[in-house]
A and B are shown apart, each in its own frame.
Chain A
Amino acid sequence: MEKETHQSSQVLSDISEINLREQLLVPNSHHLDGYMKMKSFTPARLGLWRCGPRYKTQSILRFRADHAAAQDSVFSYVDPDLIKAMQFIAIQTRCRSKDEYLTRPDLGRRFSTEYAEKIKKHITHPPKIQLVVGDGLSSAAIVANIKDVIPSIKQGLNHYGLDCTQHIFVKYCRVGVMDQIGEMTDADVVCMLIGERPGLATAQSMSAYIAYRPTMGMPEMRRTVVSNIHAQGIPPVEAGAYISELLYKMLRYKKSGLDLKAVENTD
């Protein structure tokens, strides 16, 4: 393993910089090409090798680093400067801390009247499309993707002769918040971009939950979901373009979720 010796000869400041798909720790493998090809199909940690019955030190360190990154993305906050730069209307749910956010999902789905006033002050007319950005379970996902997704959605909407302005940012956000925002703003379509629960493969995955005229307590089947938005999954700009088409379709059919699928299939 020429590559490995090369790596050990110099200082590596961050172990997670190594692309796991390109790293094979099995010494003298019989069929290197086949192994590497198999690894290229999956983010799973294949070919870690072992020391006696245990993982190698490197594998354990990497596992812990990835786990730490996942935890960090849950417990960290979206940089206030980013929120300002993107000119989001910043609000917060009824949760007062990350601990409360994690233990009380119900509080993460509603916000108080104080923030309702703030939204009303900024959004005076019922918008056709209301974008909402939520930290969710991964602030890292928002930081990584939002600057590419939103302009791509807007460019896509321009293609359909539509637009969206005045985006809302929600701290301690759960998906259900979009229903309350929908009722309040009287928007035709609400699109929520929210950080997904991080895993060991990536902590930067984001989802879009989109619904036509969402209402509090509505069935989940009315939401259309686009998941796995990140650089190694659905590229954020391509996801934005696809979301813009979904928004256009929802306005056209006045439907979302399974209902939208159903009309599309008969169309």
Chain B
Amino acid sequence: MESVVLSVGIDIGTSTTQLILSRLTIQNKASFFSVPNIVIAKKEMIYQSDIIFTPLSQGYQIDYAAIARFVGQQYMLAGVSKQSIGVGAIMITGETARKENADRVVQTLSQDAGDFVVTTAGPDLEGILAAKGSGAGKVSLERKVPIINLDIGGGTTNLAALDGDQVLDTACFDIGGRLIKVDPMTLQISYIAPKIQQLIHQLNLNLFEGTILRSTEPLNPILDVFVQVLENSIGIGERTRFFDLLVTNHCFTRRDTDRIRSISFSGGVADCMMQSENRQPFVYGDIGLLLGKRLRHSKIYRYKQVVTPQETIRATVVGAGSYSITVSGSTIAYTPDALPVRNVPMIKLTIEPMNGNALGLADQIKSGLEIFRTHGELTNVALYIVGLKSPSFNQLQHCAREIVSGAHALLDQNLPLIVITEEDIAKALGHSLFYNLPQNYSYICIDRINANHGDYIDIGTPVPHTTVLPVSVKTLLFSN
């Protein structure tokens, strides 16, 4: 049993848009004598597009036609048809996510770009996908050490702390290479981002849009703050008073991230860090090179172990293309008519080890569902159940009955019942649900999914020649 699936990753960022294609090989890793264990065994990037400027029309709208043209062109150049794209993800990041037609653009594009292309957004997810796409996740997995990746782009720095496959924490700061733009010819400052204007004001600096920089020196206090905040963010040094100003949504929430020793950099500025220090500092029309140089000499290199990434400027798009899709467990149960499922929120329900019969689960589900009721109507919600570690048959029956009784509100509206578990139990649980549900009722029961309360999930139709479903879990865990 082996299946090859083409995956697309599209990153529509503040300043640039890019696309990659990767080939995912899905294989049964178990021996002939065991229950199948189907996993994504190989991920190979087979095509990367040029990096284009994100096309905008009238400044406040994304030019959908131009993006669609770009995607079509890239498919042609890569020699693939839209029909051959099995899975993928579209990521809309930074400023672009706030354009008034952003939602519509990604929704339409996800329908147009391939079979099961999901939409993703949010600084936390961006950091996670960049960390995975840069190769930091692989390093962590291979060396069995936790790692923090700092994806330093034009507008923001997205941090993600990973331990192998597991996401420990995320953070985001308004630190980036294009927060100040400088004309490389005239050396005149053409743009200063609002937050940086505040910073300049607080630092009492004499810098404005229009100032001509005769040397790079006037920028030093700003760069110092940037570097210091980034050092602080991973636990180096006393927190500067500007730390809170530069936080986008939140810094790391776990204290022990300070102890993580392995650090990697990705994003455009990571690219700048590796370039010769003798280049004209404003050759890119921004402060990316200067920031890169500063970071190269920062305390991060002295106190931490810096790992060289595989991908820098493409980390996010590679993350979207290769790491946003996983597969479910191999022994699962569902009715085909319930698929695919897009953007369904999950509520997490924990069955404590002492409560084998899952008493109270129905009530937990009922109250969990109420949060999602608007104007008396429910939209579908997936029930994510953890703690079903090798239950007895009777315990499983209790659990299935609790679920069906708790999900009454969903059943009333004839919404497919979606149950997701962490432990390998979905086929048995699915059969029990089937037994307890009304006849011919649509349901999905899949396992081996790691998720958190409030995450969103997409579930696709089966990967050809396998028994698994492609799944994308979109975490919003760390946002407020």
Contact = CB atoms under 8 A, between A and B. Distances in A.
A158 B439 CA distance: 13
A72 interface: no
Interface string A189-228: 0000000000000000001000000000000000001111
Contacts of B379: none
Interface stretch (B16-24, B79-87, B276-284, B386-394): B386-394
Interface in B133-157: 144-145
Contact of A147 (B144, B392, B431): B392
B396 interface: yes
A220 to B, nearest CB: 11
B33 A225 contact: yes
A234 B35 contact: yes
A157 to B, nearest CB: 9
Contacts of A152: 393, 396, 428, 431
Interface stretch (A87-95, A103-111, A239-247): A239-247
Contacts of A241: 331, 333, 427-428, 430-431
Contact of B431 (A34, A159, A231, A261): A159
Interface string B326-347: 0000010100000000000000
A147 B396 CA distance: 13
A234 B424 contact: yes
Contacts of B390: 231-232, 235-237
B98 interface: no
Given A235-B391, A241-B333, A265 B1 contact: yes
Interface residues of A, number: 32
A148 B392 CA distance: 6
Contacts of A232: 390
B112 interface: no
A151 interface: yes
B260 to A, nearest CB: 12
B144 A34 contact: yes
A261 B28 CA distance: 12
Contacts of A227: 33-34
Q: Which of B389, B390, B424, B431 has the most CB of A within 10 A?
A: B431
Chain A's interface: helix, strand, loop or mixed, by majority? helix
B285 to A, nearest CB: 45
A259 interface: no
A247 to B, nearest CB: 13
Interface in B384-409: 389-393, 396
Interface string B431-470: 1101100000000000000000000000000000100000
A204 to B, nearest CB: 11
A34 B146 CA distance: 10
A141 to B, nearest CB: 14
A166 to B, nearest CB: 19
Interface in B32-64: 32-35
A186 interface: no
Contacts of B392: 147-148, 237
Interface residues of B, number: 27
Nearest to B427: A241
B183 interface: no
Nearest to B434: A159
B423 interface: yes
Given A148-B393, A235-B424, A242 B35 contact: yes
A155 B431 contact: yes
B32 to A, nearest CB: 7
Nearest to A150: B393
Contact of A237 (B396, B434, B435): B396
Given A155-B435, A235-B424, A245-B427, A225 B32 contact: yes
B425 interface: yes
Contacts of A147: 392-393
A240 B465 CA distance: 23
Contacts of B144: 34, 37-38
A226 B33 CA distance: 5
Contacts of B434: 159
Contacts of B431: 152, 155-156, 158-159, 241, 244
B428 A156 contact: yes
Given A38-B144, A265-B1, A238 B393 contact: no
Contacts of A261: 32
With a 10 A CB-CB cut-off, give which of B145, B391, B425, B427 has the most chain A CB atoms: B427
A151 B413 CA distance: 32
A266 to B, nearest CB: 10
Nearest to B332: A241
Contact of B432 (A155, A207, A225, A235): A155
User: Max chain A CB contacts within 10 Å: which of B145, B389, B390, B435?
Assistant: B390
Contacts of A264: 1
A235 B329 CA distance: 14
Nearest to B259: A33
Nearest to B31: A227
Interface string A133-157: 0000000000000011001100110
A40 to B, nearest CB: 11
A197 B145 CA distance: 37
Contacts of A242: 35, 331, 427
B397 to A, nearest CB: 8
B440 to A, nearest CB: 12
A210 to B, nearest CB: 12
Contacts of A240: 393, 428
Nearest to A257: B32
Most buried by B among A147, A225, A238, A239: A238
Given A156-B431, A234-B424, 14 more contacts: A148-B393, A152-B431, A155-B432, A158-B435, A225-B32, A225-B33, A235-B389, A235-B390, A235-B391, A235-B424, A237-B390, A240-B393, A242-B35, A261-B32
Question: Ordered nearest first, which 6 A-B pairs have the shortest CB separation?
Answer: A241-B427, A235-B390, A241-B428, A237-B428, A231-B390, A151-B393
23 contacts: A148-B392, A155-B435, A156-B427, A156-B428, A156-B431, A159-B431, A207-B33, A225-B32, A226-B34, A228-B34, A231-B390, A232-B390, A234-B35, A235-B389, A235-B423, A235-B428, A236-B393, A237-B393, A238-B331, A238-B424, A238-B426, A241-B333, A241-B431
